[in-house]
A and B are shown apart, each in its own frame.
Chain A
Amino acid sequence: MKPDQTLEIIALADLVEKARVVQAQGGRLVQICATALPSEFELTYSFDFGGRLASFRVQVPRDHPRVPSIGSVYACAFLYENEMHDLFNLSVEGMTVDFHGKLYNTAIKYAFGETKAPPAKPQPAAAAAQPN
């Protein structure tokens, strides 16, 4: 099954205005997905229009990881935006509800911000076979 969905790349500066337009058209915020790429962060904002999914993507440079909040348009965006901050170390400017890094109590700070998995811990030498 091929889902009915579209993806449009937009400029970071147009993000909030785009959210406003989508909201006026009755779009429901479905998700915000952040992806850490080697040179940038890719943020995908998806909206539902009665079953059809429209996504908008912005690219955020790694050396300036700042993105405006769409919380003024979509009240529920604060959760996704706090998640982006806590897991990816992205600064979301103007969040309507800011947990200041306290939403996720993860053991590793900004665990999703890097593109490569941390090196695996060395395994202890194989133990002698245990009887069942």
Chain B
Amino acid sequence: MARTIIPFGPQHPVLPEPVHLDLVVEDEKVVEARPSIGFVHRGLEKLVEKKDYVEFVYVAERICGICSFIHGQTYCQAIEAIMDIPVPPRAHYLRTVWGELSRIHSHLLWLGLMADGMGFESLFMHSWRVREQVLNVIEATTGGRVIFGSCKIGGVRRDIDADGVKHVLAELETIERDMREITKVFINDNSVKKRLSGVGTLSRQEAHDLGCVGPVLRASGVAQDMRQLGYAAYPELEMEPVTRTDGDSYARCAVRCDELFQSVSLIRQALARIPAGEIAVKVNGNPKGEVIMRTEQPRGEVVYCLKANGGRNLQRFRVRTPTFANIPAMLKLLQGCDLADVPVLVLTIDPCISCTER
């Protein structure tokens, strides 16, 4: 049968950011997908040669516009590990609260994009309506909606006072109620089920062998979540990884839906147990040594490799983003799929090209 190459992207209605795939098709079946990235590669890793290690927190936060806070947090944690900085417990809790708010708004963004990709426009709009409420809470507590600017080496810049805590908890009630309405549709609606069930199935073994991370890995039955490594306030909170075993697009959607409520629970626990005290310590000197720091972003494990030789500039700064780790799985899912399923399968890994093009 004759083969045709269909270009998919870099500009495509289901792609909020540029990535290109050459889809090799036979009739309506995709037999191979060849990716091409780097359209907006910014070389941020190279910028450590010019930016002071303290100033670089701002750059780390700007790697991504969705999980910006966790990027800054991971960078700070890596420097703190190298320099052995004792971060105050209150700062750990505040980082946890903002990290989980980031996860909620990221998952709601994805749910909206997936609904849009399926042509379910009202569901898309409701998902993003609730996301706005989350962004309002973030703005009220940090002053920013996209870039929080709240994390710094040694702690955090802002505190949440008692009134702020009450406000967050009250808003969470509304947000949780609205999310229940939306997720009910994602989980129970027949058209959503038909569109996602059995599409792009990844077995547990395949997910492991392909190096998958985050909801993609957990939807295939692997209970791995970097929050269990014990950073921030997570060791003191109750949390179990959300998993599904079917490994298809519906399972990945269900994992993200459940993680919304897991994040709400974590925020409530953190705000109930947040200790009083300082929110930051003073940092002196320059880092010397190296460390690999891993945290759980909404899309999965992010890896920061830092190497410092005692100067103001780091010797090496490398970020392995969750989307980068999930690209081999996406290519595997595309092999043999129907051409009409390509948008769903691309969206199903929740690709963040901004992160990948760090």
Interface string of A94-132 (1 = CB under 8 A from B): 000001001111101001100011001000000000000
Question: A102 to B316, Cβ gap below 8 A?
Answer: no
Say whether A92 faces chain B, with CB atoms less than 8 Å apart.
no
Interface size in chain B (residues, C-beta < 8 A):
41
Question: B209 to A76, Cβ gap below 8 A?
Answer: yes
Among A50, A53, A103, point to the contact of B294 (Cβ < 8 A). A53
Interface string of B48-65 (1 = CB under 8 A from A): 011000000000000000
Interface string of A26-58 (1 = CB under 8 A from B): 001111011100000000101010110101000
Shortest CB-to-CB span from B15 to chain A, Å, is 16
Interface residues of A: mostly helix, strand, loop or mixed? loop
Task: Chain A residues near B39: list those with CB within 8 A.
Answer: 105
Among A5, A75, A104, A120, point to the contact of B37 (Cβ < 8 A). A104
Complex: A99 Cα to B292 Cα, angstroms:
28
Say whether A2 faces chain B, with CB atoms less than 8 Å apart.
yes
What are 28 residue pairs bridging A and B, where the CB atoms are less than 8 Å apart in the complex?
A3-B229, A3-B292, A3-B294, A5-B291, A30-B294, A30-B301, A31-B325, A33-B320, A35-B307, A46-B292, A50-B224, A55-B292, A74-B209, A74-B211, A75-B210, A75-B328, A76-B209, A76-B211, A76-B325, A76-B329, A78-B328, A104-B37, A106-B41, A106-B43, A111-B43, A112-B45, A117-B46, A117-B50
| Extra 15 A-B pairs, beta carbons < 8 Å, given A1-B80, A35-B316, A76-B210 | A3-B294, A33-B305, A33-B316, A33-B320, A35-B315, A35-B318, A51-B224, A51-B228, A103-B35, A103-B36, A103-B37, A106-B43, A111-B46, A117-B46, A120-B50
- Report which A residues bind B (CB closer than 8 A): 1-5, 28-31, 33-35, 44, 46, 48, 50-51, 53, 55, 74-76, 78-79, 86, 99, 102-106, 108, 111-112, 116-117, 120
